Each structure stands twice: as structure tokens, then as C-alpha cells.
Amino acid sequence: MVDERVKSVGGYLMRLGGGVLVILGILGAFTALSQGNLIGIIISVAFVVGGAFLFKRSSGTRRARESASVSRG
């Protein structure tokens, strides 16, 4: 039971971290575009991709657990 709670808290933290990274990446991309900074654009894209990856991992683990716990009859 404690293990399930830890996994759900970890999923929420991954979702929160992913959302923050995506928002920072989008804001950074607009800033870098307005200044014409290529390195800033590349870093912003990396933030958005990393945030999307965290989002996907946070929701995928829960779905895998739910499908594993469902009995097929």
C-alpha cells in the first residue's frame, strides 16, 4: 500500500516537472526567437522535449498498472 502511494506521488511530481519544463521551454523559445539566439532555441526545444517525455512517463506508468490489475475473463 505504501509502495502504491509512493508511485502515485512520483507520477504527480513527474507530471508537475514536465509541465514546468514545457512552459519554461515555450517561454524560452519566444525569448530566443525575439533575440535571434540559436543556442537558446536549441535549449528551449530540449526543455519542451524533456517535459513531454516526463509527461508521457508519468501517465504511462499508471495506465500500465491499471491494465495489469484488471483481470481478463
| DSSP-assigned letters across all residues of 4-17 | HHHHHHHHHHHHHH
Residue 65 belongs to a domain: no
Residue 3 belongs to a domain: no
Residue 25 belongs to a domain: yes
Task: Quote the domain boundaries for residue 52.
Answer: 17-58
% of the chain with per-residue pLDDT over 70: 71
Judge contact between 41 and 32, C-beta under 8 A: yes
Give pLDDT, residue 66.
59
Give how many domains the chain has, as a whole number.
1
Give pLDDT, residue 22.
95
The CA distances from residue 3 to 8, 9, 10, 12, 67, in Å, are 9, 10, 11, 14, 18
% of the chain with per-residue pLDDT over 90: 52
Query: CB atoms < 10 A from the CB of 49, how many?
Result: 13
pLDDT bucket at 9, cuts 50 / 70 / 90: confident
Q: What is the pLDDT of residues 49-64, one digit of tens each?
A: 999 999 888 875 455 5
Residue 7 belongs to a domain: no
